[in-house]
Amino acid sequence: MFNKLTIQTRRLYVQLAAAAVTNSYFLAPYLKHLPCPSLNCYACPLAAFACPIGSLQHFAIVGAVPFLLLGILFLAGALVGRWACGYLCPFGLFQDLLARIRRPKLALPSWLGWGRYLSLFGVAIIVPMLTGEPWFSKLCPAGTLEAGIPYVVAGFFKLKLPGQPAQIFAMIGPLFYLKLALTAGIIAAAVFIKRPFCRFICPLGAIFGVFNRVSLLRITLDHGKFSDKADCRKVCPVDLDITKDAGSAKCVRCMQCVKCPGVSQRFG
Ligand code: SF4
Ligand code: SF4
């Protein structure tokens, strides 16, 4: 039955399962020290894994090399490139669901993708090194949705979630409102722009993207078979025309375009 489903539906099932596993609270005692290959907030009451970008900032602050983190990211990247963005990341899934809201989607210039490298080197490495604070995590919309808002709502109803800070209301201030505004902006943008956070902001996507050109999982093109290039871009969750560059760092390897003539996937 699973084989008869469209790639998009199969991918949705995998994404939902991955989001559930990543937030399986009962696994946290065994796995919370391990970074997962997706953007999932460590502070989320249900999180079973560490956030790779949170870990990266921690090591930047203490001035140490994150060998385990780099090993996990390099292994995942070398095997499948940015596939985790297409199939495993809960925040990627969240944006895909927002994109299903029927509104015209805007095409934005591709140079905005450099924002991912600014986030990675600027906000997630250099700023934490200089300030001693994990500024990407402080502003991260995934963290606001998975931890900040649930903790405040639980506090309002006098509930206590795992890991909830004792003085939760004392933490509500200008930074919290800034996070809310940024998160609301990303959510609104994701209705009109396909995966804006993944394409223009996410530092983890920047890391995985560099492996797309060399990973074992790759897309191959047969230029002689191309017929309707526009359709390839239409099915793409990141609004990419893969026929121009099969190794593009922007591709999240969802493989929805392999049904286009001339586009296929290969492993090895
Ligand atoms: S780029 Fe998107 S899918 Fe990939 S890790 Fe970041 S938020 Fe998740
Ligand atoms: S180019 Fe193809 S494989 Fe890459 S994200 Fe777009 S549809 Fe998915």
Ligand nearest to the CA of 142: 1
Q: In the structure, what pLDDT confidence band is assigned to residue 163 with cuts at 50, 70 and 90?
A: confident
Say which DSSP state 50 is in: B
Whole-angstrom Cα distance, residue 36 to residue 39? 8
Report CA(83)–ligand 1 centroid distance (Å): 10
How is 156-214 classified by DSSP, letter by letter? HTT---TT--TTGGGG-SHHHHHHHHHHHHHHHHHHHSSSHHHHHT-HHHHHHHTTTTT
Q: pLDDT per residue over 164-183, tens digit each?
A: 888 888 889 999 999 999 99
Report CA(39)–ligand 1 centroid distance (Å): 6
Instruction: Give, for ligand 1, the residue of 11, 14, 38, 208 to mutate: max count of ligand atoms closer than 8 Å to Cβ.
Output: 38
Report CA(146)–ligand 1 centroid distance (Å): 15
| Residues 47/40, Cβ–Cβ less than 8 Å | yes
- For the ranges 50-54, 90-94, 123-127, 151-155, the lowest mean pLDDT is seen at 151-155
Collect all residues with Cβ–Cβ distance below 8 Å to 125 and sequence separation of at least 6: 56, 57, 60
Atom of ligand 1 nearest to the CA of 116: 1
Q: In the structure, what pLDDT confidence band is assigned to residue 246 with cuts at 50, 70 and 90?
A: very high
Atom of ligand 1 nearest to the CA of 89: 8
